[in-house]
Amino acid sequence: MQHVRVKPMMPPGHVRTPHYLRGKIGVIERSLGAFPNPEDLAYGHAAPALPLYRVRFRLGDIWGEDTPHPDDTLDAEIYDHWLEPADAP
Amino acid sequence: MPHDHHDHLSPSGHPYREDDDTPLSYWQTMEIAVRELLVEKGITTPADIAAQIETMDARSPANGAQVVARAWTDPAFRAELLADASAATRDMGFDIGPLNLIALENTADVHNVVVCTLCSCYPRNLLGLPPDWYKSRAYRSRTVREPRAVLAEFGVTLPDTTTVRVHDSTADMRYIVIPARPEGTENLSEHELAALVTRDSMIGTGLAKLP
Amino acid sequence: MGGDAAGPVPTDQHDFSLWEKRVDALMIIGSAKGYFTVDGLRRVLEDMGKDAFESMTYYERWIASVNQNLIEGGAYTTAELAEKMDEVAKRGATYGDAAQAT
């Protein structure tokens, strides 16, 4: 189980990393291969392909342990440059 | 002039919203202007636009229902679908274009539900255009935070022993839920099984119908 | 939007009107021809801000974004759009009348 943290960055402009996941820790569910970076495509630029991962988070790790059913999960696709290694939460 | 609405039935047999008879809006004016400019510039043709509309109209949840019914009855296909859903649906003959599809299987222990919090990503090249509620602020906001409350509004109540897995379509993948096969359907044909598979059951906000 | 508090999920459903289907088709065609990507569509939708989500319908927002992306992509100019919209608006009071030329 490889734990990763979504970087807590807050740039302007079009990014495909939801606000509610920034700074949250999950595990890589699977690698999806490389896809053109939407942050470049959004402005009509040539886009390098970046590794894309499905990252699985516990709802308790996103919303706090007092959330109903904290062991339910949320999977999202996150690009490599938004992820950093992390310890288990 | 009078408008003959019989010329304006969608393939589903429902009338289009009667926009022909409502006052022309600014945004409708823009649509007409953009479309005509693209034709005048040689970028597209009226026939291409009509063909694109026909292509999208022909896509419907019935396509996905066939995929699900095949997965319920053919173990090899099910395995292929779970491994590479794009390839498996193309092998069935569906023209899904560049769609990157992942199939999510519901079981006794796991219930999957799909949302796009950033916009309205949906496997439109297989299932057609998404329902209005899928694009609503309420669905997009709440499903990632209180999925069971949202599911309950759709009439789906799950035991605590079932894990809910929410899938936020944030990037390049699109998702189809393979609902659990209802009990008592052992003797049904693939065709009969497909009739049990609703659109909502493939988004995860519903279950397959009972026979 | 993800995680925000909100009321019950609305259940009303409408069949798409012809002008909405045309907007959808123009998005597919415009991106297939290389004038923009779905990411450009989303960028402009987001830049329109939260008010637009409440005050405009889904395909109203889409045609606004498709148009801006096509202008940015060089398909036509703002001046050409202005002239064409003015001409279209003078054709009649309803969508049916104004769209008759095509």
The whole-number mean pLDDT for each consecutive block of 10 residues of chain B, a chain of 211 residues, reads 42 53 92 98 97 96 98 98 98 96 97 97 97 96 98 97 98 98 96 98 98 93
* C74 in contact with A, Cβ within 8 Å: no
Q: Is residue B105 part of a domain?
A: yes
* C72 in contact with A, Cβ within 8 Å: yes
- The ipTM (two decimal places) reads 0.97
Q: Which residues of A touch B173 (CB under 8 A)?
A: 32, 54, 77
Domain that holds residue C71: 18-89
| Chain C residues 73-102 within an 8 A CB cutoff of chain B | 75-76, 80-81, 84-85, 87-89, 92-99, 101-102
- Is A9 a residue whose pLDDT tops 90? yes
- What pLDDT sits at residue A1? 80
Q: Is residue B209 part of a domain?
A: no
Q: Is residue C42 part of a domain?
A: yes
Q: Do A20 and C2 touch (CB under 8 A)?
A: yes
- % residues pLDDT > 70 (chain C): 98
Domain that holds residue B78: 60-203
- % residues pLDDT > 70 (chain A): 100
Residues 6+ positions from B33 with CB-CB distance below 8 Å? C81, C84, C85, C87, C88
Q: Is residue B208 part of a domain?
A: no
Q: Is residue C78 part of a domain?
A: yes
In angstroms, what CA-CA distances link C59 with B44, B172, C27, C52?
A: 20, 22, 10, 12
- What pLDDT sits at residue C102? 55
CATH of the domain at B199: 3.90.330.10
* Partner residue facing B170 (CB), from A18, A72, A73: A18
How many beta carbons lie within 10 A of that of residue B205, not counting itself? 26
Mean pLDDT (whole number) for C58-62 = 97
Of B10, B25, B119, B189, the active-site residue reads B119
Together in a domain, B37 and B69: no
Q: Is residue C94 part of a domain?
A: no
Are B33 and C88 in contact by the 8 Å Cβ rule? The answer is yes
Residue of A24, A55, A75, A83 to mutate, interface with B, max B Cβ within 10 Å? A75
Q: Is residue C10 part of a domain?
A: no
Together in a domain, B37 and B137: no
- What pLDDT sits at residue B17? 52
Q: Is position B201 annotated as part of the catalytic site?
A: no
Q: What is the pLDDT of residues B19-72, one digit of tens each?
A: 667 889 999 999 999 999 999 999 999 999 999 999 999 999 999 999 999 999
Together in a domain, B93 and B66: yes
B47/B45 Cα distance (integer angstroms): 5
Q: Do C17 and B19 touch (CB under 8 A)?
A: yes
User: For residue C38, what is the nearest residue in chain A, using CA coordinates?
Assistant: A42
How many structural domains does chain C have? 1
Together in a domain, B194 and B111: yes
Q: Which fold has domain A3-85?
A: SH3 type barrels. (2.30.30)
How many structural domains does chain B have? 2
- Is C30 a residue whose pLDDT tops 80? yes
CATH of the domain at C23: 1.10.472.20
- What pLDDT sits at residue B21? 72
From B37, B57, B77, the end of a domain falls on: B57
Q: Is residue C98 part of a domain?
A: no
Together in a domain, B102 and B198: yes
